Structures are given as C-alpha cells and as structure tokens.
Amino acid sequence: METKNKRSTFSGQLGYVMAVAGSAVGLGNIWRFPYLAAKYGGGTFLFTYFILAITFGFALLISETALGRKN
C-alpha cells in the first residue's frame, strides 16, 4: 500500500507575507550590517560578529531541524 505525503502549505496570505518579511530582515542583517561595520572601521567587531553568527546560527539550524523532524 502506497502512502502519499502531503506537502505543508501556508494557512493564509498573512503567514506567507510574514515569512517573506522575516527573510528580508534576516538578509539585511547578514549583508548590510557587517558591510557598514567594516566600512567605518569595525573589523574586530566584524570578525566577532561572524564567529558568533556561524556558531549560534548552526546551533539554531540544528535545533530547528530536530524540532521539525519530531512532528
């Protein structure tokens, strides 16, 4: 017997808009802020920022994946 997995969808248009807005804000944080910090002499801060973004980002990615697989 073959079972088909249904793909998840957004429950409404508002959920989709909020997800897209969150993505845009996240991309702005990743690209614009470090650029401005480096431009105005924040190289040491920028190095620390990238290290923390990678370590915390990886931990959050793993935990989000684990929570998603739980359901």
Q: pLDDT digit string (tens) for 15-63?
A: 888 888 877 777 767 777 778 877 888 888 878 878 988 899 889 889 8
Q: What is the rounded (10 degree) CA torsion for 17, 21, 22, 25?
A: 180
Cβ neighbors of 53 (< 8 A, separation 6 or more) are 30
Q: With a threshold of 0.85, does the pTM exceed it? A: no
34: number of Cβ within 10 Å: 17
- Please give the backbone phi and psi of residue 24, each rounded to the nearest 5 degrees, phi first: -65, -40
